[in-house]
Structure 1
Amino acid sequence: MHTYVNSMATHSDDWDNDYQEGYEHVGAPISENRDIRIENEPEAPEAVVPEVTASVRRRKILILVGCTVINLCQSIVFVMAVLGKINSDLSNKQADDIRMALFITRRLGVPLASIFMIGLGYRIVGIVGCSLVGLGLFIAAWVPRVAVGGIGFLVGGVAGLGFAFLSLTVIIPILETFTKHRLRYVVLVRSAETVAAILFACITLVPEIDIDWRILYRYQLIVMVIAGAACVLLKPLEPPTVDKSRGVLSRLLGLSDFSIFKGAPLYLLMVVYFMDQLGKPIPAYELSTLLEDPIKQFGNDLSVRVIVVLPFVGALLGLLALVFWQRFSLVDVLWMLGPINILSGLLTFQVPALAKVTWVAVYAVVFGMSSGIFLALVDNVIPHAFGKQRIRIVEGILGLASGVGHVISLPVSEALNSRTTVGYESSFYLSGSALITSGLLAVGFRYMLIRQNSKTETAS
């Protein structure tokens, strides 16, 4: 791992102007970024950085607003697609299969979305994503019940792929555009997603509300039109350039070299991310099962049922806490992620033994905080660790690791639960084991990077 710190900071009054907190480039250093000085060589005069124009500042604001609006809209529609009572005119198994297809396609479609984004840019990918989601759900709302396969294809396939496109559209423009306050803007965009989840999760707690899924799917088209219009705001500050001298694979992946695939950091971060996403989805799904356990007798009043919303509330609190985070290198981020996941895993081990609803509520909030912090910090560290020119392909690779972990977590959890009498204990033990493993790997990965950096500095 080679660390390069840009010592030149500007004094512009712009709220995010060419400020470098320090970049960590994985693999061979890029020649144009190296600052090689010969002893006794006279220092070159400090470069004069031009004032950021009002138009650039305005375009940055539009990108921030656009990403926030898009994420809010796509989150609302996704929750509608998941919480819409599909089993109102379909069987429970058919409804569950459609939802599972939607989850799988949304997660595993991220690498494909990153490839398209490298070639087409995030504006076009965002508009295509809005179209796939909007039209897929709208058409599915008119398909008769006998054609359940068509409904599954439109919701789980077409709309699911659109959600995968939008999941990158809302974050990559932020990572590529901003530097100084990037984490704060990541928090803002991610908070919009969490707020949407909280609102619609609360709606499900009201028993009198019973809106047919076909009605929800038809009216979501309005929301996706708004999101599509917001995609127009995502105009890159610098037009993309294509180096035709590179090979086909280099152009496809948007890479000038393949050094990131030659070192261990990317693969280790993938494993940490995979284990995190293997453990994180399970408690969110199993909390309701725990609360309904007749042996524990938690009850069924609103104060108990509202606990299923608390992980989203905790995620929002965790995101807001990152506003004060000031360390941005991969080594520092791993030092934060490791203990958080270890603590979250240890607490998850204790959940089956909790006998008071208050402690379950506390756990739900703490668990949600760890989830929000992990995702935001991993997003924010990618430009520092791998360079801005590699953001899109790295997001796709990490998205694949995350998607595989998320997709296999629920089937594995169900298989374990089928072998126990209570049903949910094995799920929490699996989740806790995965989170502790993720945390330990993060800590070990951090010390490996520190040792590698020390050897590099000694050799130079």
Structure 2
Amino acid sequence: MCTDKSETDMTVNRQHAEDKDEDQTGSGHSCCCLKGAVGTILSCTAIFFSFSLVDQWITTKDEALGYTADWGESGQREVRRVYTGVSSIATIFAALISLKVGYRIVAISGCLMMMCGMFVASWLDKAAIGLIGVLIGGIAGVGASCLKLVAVVPVLENIDNCRFIAVGVVNIGGACASVIHYGIMSIDDVNLNWRLLYRWQIVIMIFALFVSLRLGSTNEKWIKTYYSPFDWSILHQKSLYILMTVLLLDRFGQFILSKEIFTFFDTSDSSSAPYLGGFFYYGGQILGPVFMFCCIKKEIVSTLCFMGPIAFISGIWTIGATWSTNLLHISIYAAILGISKVAFTTLLQNLIPTVYGKKNVRIVKGLLEFSAGVGILLSSPCQYAVGMSYDEVERYKPAFYLAGCALVLASGFVFLCVQVVRETEDYAKVSVVNEIAMEET
């Protein structure tokens, strides 16, 4: 009996070792040190940097670039909200198209759509606000969804051993773009307006266009050779829908905070609070992945157990942040929020090929971004509803409470996902043991 039990345990352990190798947890052969892998990482980082910089110009506060003066208050709010939602929701369609034509064609199409939509819109006035909405919210929004997909998918599909580092580098590129944008907006002597930036974005998108040509189709031969478009069975996995809910809540809260965070900084008596708060907020987004390099583990449950507290801490701190306008407290909160925002995203992206397999990266990424877009579209109406009873000065407070509750709720769903994954692993162990017992009988 002891021998039989020992053989069973060895078989179970061997089975799980094989599963771990197959699900791309980082044990593959592609390494960041290889020339091709480095090229893929740099290309994706450059694309994400370019997209993030232009994206900041579209979504920045209207006071800085004069959107309200040219589009009207309701016009500028709706155009930017639709753009932000469409850029996430349309990612699922970009993912499906990329399975047919490849991510290089999708990236080129995204660059062209953003270039054309923004350039044409820059010549229109308030009377054509409907057309501006189509150009920015529709055409540029769909183009943005293509670039968001392509900035991550090649890394997730082609990098194994150093995948987390690679994803972190890409996200750091996006955070650096935010820092540059914030630095430009902070210069008092620079006279900027949205029309000027919309025309200059052509230079940045041309750069992204040339980088997109570097994403050769040779990187995708495996998906056409070895796999069908994707495995429909993933749509039956509970963890996918839980993670979609997690991202919906996270983007719901983070989008509200991205609009209200500087209103909160302005409440401090110190004139340096907006600058220090912005420095720590965007600096934290750069340090987020760097910080995670030191403590991340490749196992699924360990990663989820790290994501849960990140969302919980940022949510609780957001709820309590409005109780103090001390410069030190503002700086610490801004750094914590910036770190948690990018670290959470990096962890979630790194999990996709681990949990669902390399062949399903595109469809899962598209579904997750779709849920993120739903959260973004819901955020503005909900924020407006809870802030109606407050005056203009205090209206940021209920927005912070709402965003904080969403982040805390997201952490609860992360822990629910941990339980589902553990039950799935336990079921797999039982199934393997039962099969061995039947064979011995």
Deviation at 1:230, TM superposition (A): 0.4
1:46 maps to what in 2?
none
Describe the SS at the equivalent of 2:322. helix
Deviation at 1:376, TM superposition (A): 0.3
Q: 2:250 aligns with which of 276, 279, 299?
A: 276
2:237 maps to what in 1?
263
Is the Cα–Cα contact under 8 Å of residues 311 and 411 in structure 2 kept in the other structure? yes
Read off the aligned partner of 2:380 and give its amino acid letter.
L
Read off the aligned partner of 2:385 and give its amino acid letter.
A
1:286 maps to what in 2?
260
Q: 1:450 aligns with which of 422, 425, 437?
A: 422
Segments of 5+ residues of structure 1 without an aligned counterpart are 10-17, 24-48
Q: 1:21 aligns with which of 14, 18, 26?
A: 26
Is the Cα–Cα contact under 8 Å of residues 304 and 357 in structure 1 kept in the other structure? no
Q: Distance in 1 between matches of 2:262 and 2:19?
A: 52
Is the Cα–Cα contact under 8 Å of residues 118 and 198 in structure 2 kept in the other structure? yes
Confirm whether residue 194 of structure 1 aligns to residue 194 of structure 2: no
Deviation at 1:282, TM superposition (A): 2.0
2:271 maps to what in 1?
301
Deviation at 1:452, TM superposition (A): 3.0
Output aligned runs, 1:172-191, within 5 Å. Answer: 172-191=153-172
Q: 1:116 aligns with which of 97, 109, 132?
A: 97
**1:410-459 superposed Cα distances (whole Å, 9 cap, x missing partner):** 22112101123532222122122111111122123213322332232133
Q: Distance in 2 between matches of 1:216 and 1:69?
A: 19
Q: 1:82 aligns with which of 41, 44, 59?
A: 59
Confirm whether residue 239 of structure 1 aligns to residue 244 of structure 2: no
Deviation at 1:304, TM superposition (A): 3.4
Deviation at 1:220, TM superposition (A): 1.2
Q: Distance in 1 between matches of 2:274 and 2:266?
A: 10
Confirm whether residue 71 of structure 1 aligns to residue 48 of structure 2: yes
2:140 maps to what in 1?
159
**1:43-97 superposed Cα distances (whole Å, 9 cap, x missing partner):** xxxxxx9xx99xx943323222211111111112222233443345333332223
Read off the aligned partner of 1:85 and give its amino acid letter.
G
Is the Cα–Cα contact under 8 Å of residues 5 and 21 in structure 1 kept in the other structure? no
1:289/1:22 CA distance change after superposition, 3 Å: same
Output aligned runs, 1:198-213, within 5 Å. Answer: 198-213=179-194
Q: Distance in 2 between matches of 1:141 and 1:409?
A: 27
State which drifts further: 235-244 or 77-86: 235-244
**1:105-160 superposed Cα distances (whole Å, 9 cap, x missing partner):** 21221111111112111100000000000111111122344322222221221111
1:431 maps to what in 2?
403
Q: 2:324 aligns with which of 335, 354, 357?
A: 354
Is the Cα–Cα contact under 8 Å of residues 288 and 308 in structure 1 kept in the other structure? yes
Read off the aligned partner of 1:418 and give its amino acid letter.
M
1:38 maps to what in 2?
none
1:311 maps to what in 2?
281
Q: Distance in 1 between matches of 2:190 and 2:165?
A: 36
Describe the SS at the equivalent of 1:143. coil
Is the Cα–Cα contact under 8 Å of residues 280 and 431 in structure 1 kept in the other structure? yes
1:28 maps to what in 2?
none
State which drifts further: 153-162 or 199-208: 199-208
Q: Distance in 2 between matches of 1:415 and 1:86?
A: 23
* Deviation >6 Å, runs of 4+: none
Q: Distance in 1 between matches of 2:168 and 2:223?
A: 30
What TM-score do you get using the length of structure 2 for normalisation?
A: 0.86
1:119/1:263 CA distance change after superposition, 3 Å: same
Describe the SS at the equivalent of 1:353. coil
Q: Distance in 2 between matches of 1:164 and 1:413?
A: 24
State which drifts further: 90-99 or 331-340: 90-99
Describe the SS at the equivalent of 1:280. helix
2:333 maps to what in 1?
363
Higher helix proportion: 2
Q: Distance in 2 between matches of 1:242 and 1:22?
A: 22
Deviation at 1:7, TM superposition (A): 9.0
1:82/1:282 CA distance change after superposition, 3 Å: closer
Q: 2:385 aligns with which of 415, 425, 429?
A: 415
Q: Distance in 2 between matches of 1:73 and 1:370?
A: 23
Deviation at 1:311, TM superposition (A): 2.2
Output aligned runs, 1:324-363, within 5 Å. Answer: 324-363=294-333
State which drifts further: 124-133 or 66-75: 66-75
Deviation at 1:214, TM superposition (A): 1.6
1:44 maps to what in 2?
none
> What is the aligned-residue RMSD (CA, Å)?
2.8
Q: Distance in 1 between matches of 2:113 and 2:126?
A: 21
Is the Cα–Cα contact under 8 Å of residues 59 and 237 in structure 1 kept in the other structure? no
Describe the SS at the equivalent of 2:71. coil
**1:171-218 superposed Cα distances (whole Å, 9 cap, x missing partner):** 000000100001111111111110111111122222332223222111
Is the Cα–Cα contact under 8 Å of residues 102 and 220 in structure 2 kept in the other structure? no
